[in-house]
A = this chain, B = another copy of it.
Amino acid sequence: MVTRRILVFCLVCLLGWAWVTVAPAADDPLPSWNDGATKQSIIDFVTRVTKEGGPDYVAPPERVATIDNDGTLWVEQPMYTQSVFAIDEVKAQSNQHPEWNDQEPFKSVLAGDMKAVAAMGEKGMVEIVAATHSGMTTVAFNQTVSDWLATAKHPRFKVLYTDLVYQPMLELLAYLRANGFKTFIVSGGGVEFMRAFADKTYGVPPEQVIGSSGVTKYQMWDASPVLVKEPKVLFVDDGPGKPEGINHFIGRQPIFAFGNSDGDKEMLEWTAFCRRLCFMGLVHHTDAVREYAYDRDSSVGKLDKALDEALAKGWTVVDMKNDWKVIFPPAK
């Protein structure tokens, strides 16, 4: 009888312990983040800058958060999603460009020789993007991207690319907005490519998406005004281009910035000089099972110098494998 009572008691204890450690607190704003220093650093920062009358209080209009896209909000391996789109567009547009059959890098794309395309490096991809992202109106381009995103699937996960966003980062975006932050995407990706899905996928409206951009020209087509995309770069929003782009578009210095690669280094360095409490974060891809593991030697999303700087300066580094309970949102 005593033994039975002890057993029941222990079972109750065990259930209680399990409930305490596994079930998220009802008011946990970041339920997909494991408890620990990483999650706590985010919550501490948001709590301090929103505490009215506190020494670190920041007024809502100045709560500017700038967050990278590729590798920070969604999967960027084995190739940037926009590069996959551009390659698919070479095939889709090839009927209108017979000259591409004899002209690199298009010839290799059409022959399916992706090793040759990769060997051409960034220069080849820039040519592919310039050719496939120009000659149409901004409205037509937006439609093409939307149509592609509605059907194209990731080679490993076999789901839509917009299903490969990080659930913990969606929670972070919502948590920031619930605390009066304006959330901006600041990415090396094309601004018009991202605007085609950022509002629906991340809740970030077009006017809060900052990215690389080409020149557009205002023209009259059939007596209607249109904006036509030209194959000419206006602005590259990567590396030092990130603080330059933030200044150009927002005109304020962020107090919160998140990235995942060396292309985010200058954005984080600039944010660190915000002259009040600032938050600098990096997603470190450490989970080859659930997503990918890569950093210093990766050709996509290389994280080397920014990781050294983050470790040296005590910036928050997300260990994806250990800090995130889940990677992707539940299947729809």
Contacts and interface: CB of A to CB of B under 8 A. Distances in A.
Nearest to A139: B253
A326 interface: no
A235 B215 CA distance: 10
A43 interface: no
Given A224-B273, A266-B218, A205 B240 contact: no
A225 B273 contact: yes
Given A209-B251, A249-B207, A252-B206, A218 B191 contact: no
A250 B208 CA distance: 8
A207 B270 contact: no
A234 B216 CA distance: 13
Given A192-B251, A206-B250, A249-B249, 15 more contacts: A182-B207, A206-B251, A206-B252, A207-B208, A207-B252, A209-B251, A216-B244, A216-B247, A217-B240, A218-B241, A218-B270, A225-B270, A225-B273, A227-B243, A234-B248
27 contacts: A61-B205, A138-B247, A191-B251, A192-B251, A195-B251, A206-B250, A207-B207, A207-B208, A207-B249, A207-B250, A209-B251, A213-B248, A216-B247, A217-B240, A218-B240, A218-B243, A218-B244, A218-B266, A218-B270, A225-B243, A225-B266, A225-B269, A227-B244, A234-B234, A234-B235, A234-B248, A249-B249
